[in-house]
Structure 1
Amino acid sequence: MTFRSRFTPYIAVAAVAATATLLAGCAGGGGSPDPAKPADPDEKVTLDFAFWGNDVRAELYSQVIDAFEAEHKNITVNESFLGFPEFWEKRQTEAAGGGLPDVMQFDYSYLRQYSENGLLLDLTPYLGEAIQTDPLKESVLDIGKVADGQFAIPISTNAWGMYTNPKLLETAGVEEFAGGSWDDYTEWMASVTEASGGTVFGGTDYTGRIQNFEIQLRSHDKFLFSEDGELGFTEDDLKAFWEEGEKVRETGVVGAQKLEEIYPLSAFDAAITASELTWDNFGGGYLGNLGEGYTELGLVAPPVTVEGAKDLYQKPSMLHAASANTEHPAEAAMLIDFLVNSPESGEIFGTNRGLPASETALSGANLEGLDAQIQEYEASIADRLGDAPPVPIVGYGTIEEEFRLIGQELGHGTLSVDDAVKRLFDKIDVTLNG
């Protein structure tokens, strides 16, 4: 696949998320543009736009940017992309130097952190004008608010689910996961590995993902963090969860060493595992990475912790935000509007970024195949959907990343569960209390 010269992929070795401690000293500029200064259609403007993803998403963004530039001939958009951890490492470096991109694909986990440190443009003056709000439900638009400011616009919504690989399951001679408890899922993964003679693994150690811990907590009416930063779980809760991982790792899941060897691909991307617990908008990327011969995936609900619990929720799969220091706030707002609301965006992306949150973008989307499957999946889990958690606390992204890194070390056997629990709670204490 070939990209134009304006398109600059970066490669980073370290997978380090931005830290609240560093960003606390990186307050941006005004953050409140003058709405009386509209975009000048005769002024030549260049905008830098950054996103995370893979080559599949990169090509889709190139197509959408082409459409935007055709409509706004005075604006040139330079794109760059990274994998998710590396994306936030680079934003951390840019924030320290006051040089964030004009427009960024943004993650819910970092919204409070960056906005409260003055790094993001308050888009409120552009709502209803450069950024159309009628196509967005108020509840969806509110997702991008912190305090009294609108610091990001949700692109789409998604939910936690489980992708499966029908081709690998057929090769192994094992049926699709039929639902059930986490123990049932562990046994199913083991059956895939055993039936294939170890050529295919049933899955990975799910206890390395904080989202799986969260939905188990929600099943017991607990939570990760409250709006005010109150911790919603105990050391015993976390210890019990990571002790589940010991059992999982003993039943034939792919090992941590193999996962490192194939990075940045996941084991599911590389056709090594038959299942992956993740956000439901990841399907298009999986098919792209799996390559020729793969035309379909399975998509089923995650294991159940407590029957009838409202453990799942819809969240913004991602948002778009602008730098507080952009020299072209009006044009940045126009680009955000196009990426969120345009029918062209909906047609090109489908559900690659999640189900379009905008009615006008959704109207342009031709939801067939995997896209229709994702829409049907979210309808199928309606009974498990509860209220979404509050905007993540400042520093949530670093806690999520630490959780992932600890999961890797548990997988390697270089860290005990007790030490892992202490390490995460120490990280939480430092993040919340300085």
Structure 2
Amino acid sequence: MAIEQSAADLLATAVRGVLGVGELPVRLRAWDGSVAGPEGTPVVAVHSRRALRRLVWAPGELGLGRAYVAGELEIEGDVFATLSALTSAGRLASRDAPTGLPLRERLAVVGAAARLGALGPEPAPPPEEVRLHRAGRRHSRRRDAAAIAHHYDVGNDFYALVLGPSMVYSCAVWESPATRLDAAQEAKLDLVCRKLGLRSGARLLDVGCGWGGLALHAAQRYGARVVGITLSTAQAELARRRGAAAGLADRVEIRVQDYRDVADGPYDAIASIGMAEHVGAAGMAGYVRTLHDLLRPGGRLLHHAIAENAVAPRRNPDSFITRFVFPDGELLGLARTLSALEGGGLEVLDVEALRRHYALTLRAWVERLEKNWDAAVALAGPGRARVWRLYMAASALSFEAGKMGVNQVLVQRPGGDPPPLRRRDWV
């Protein structure tokens, strides 16, 4: 007599098909309390048949991500261990895996869903998923503003919980893993100012200034006169308040402005920290040309950006990051970035890789988010909090595995004073 399969057993069949593995890397707990998968592995609780229906329609990271954001499945225990188990083997481990499933695995997923009564129309995406097709063509001013608002206007109080008092949302520089996050962020800001050669009275343009961390540091510690620009109204409002509270309103100006509209150069230095990821490959030449023309001869630009390592740039419109986190975001490899900077008439002075530093930064942000989870949910809602937990933890693992890197490239516009003879002049 055939043994009736439990809900967890049928879920296991579907998940193995989605992942393309013979053995589950996690233990599944179904809504009826049944379990399947190896003991001692991370536990994923599936609360609803709707999670399986999402996998029928979007078999892969997007379907899994939607189910997690919607609360239809839960990661029990360590989020890093669970994501590492899911992404280290099978289809999710391959960057070049096809987006669809082979017929055999597809039939297994559909068959399991049918037996569990999970078939039906495609569920509506969670409201946290964004689609910008109504905002115009990609990287138009209007659509870039919409993309930035989606990510950065979640709420200043929410970001304060995650980022801490520094309110700096980019890779910190760590003396050691034991360094505290705020100290590591201050070290990064100081390194940027030294690389740019800031002096009292120097004019700095901070492109993508966020909540004003670098602008305030450069004005307070180095006496610079700073213009910070952002497309986020929420960021600008808080940055202005922080500048006024620090007594720096006469030296720090924060604008809601597209970098393509800045017309009051020349500047002695320009910082672009974690902003170029929003420009796109097609816009890089124009981005470099604009910043080149805003620099005085001899002025320096620090270009700090995430890169996909050792692969050609690509944009996957169905990835979790694209749909939920950074709509229209694109990562360029280091070689292509250097080519664009040099092709735009800028001289490369220095390149520093900070891959391991970003992994430490992301782990610190996840720790802060989880420590303040109830407050984060109250501020941004459970779905948005889940998006940030998933994307930051997954990104940390990608940096640790070398799939992504982050690089600071220091360049100078020819003319003016010659660059320093030795790197030690700014490190």
Q: Normalising by the residue count of structure 2, what TM-score does the alignment of the two structures yield? A: 0.28
Structure with more contact order per residue of length (Cα contacts < 8 Å, sep ≥ 6): 1
Q: Normalising by the residue count of structure 1, what TM-score does the alignment of the two structures yield? A: 0.28
Structure possessing the higher radius of gyration over alpha carbons = 2
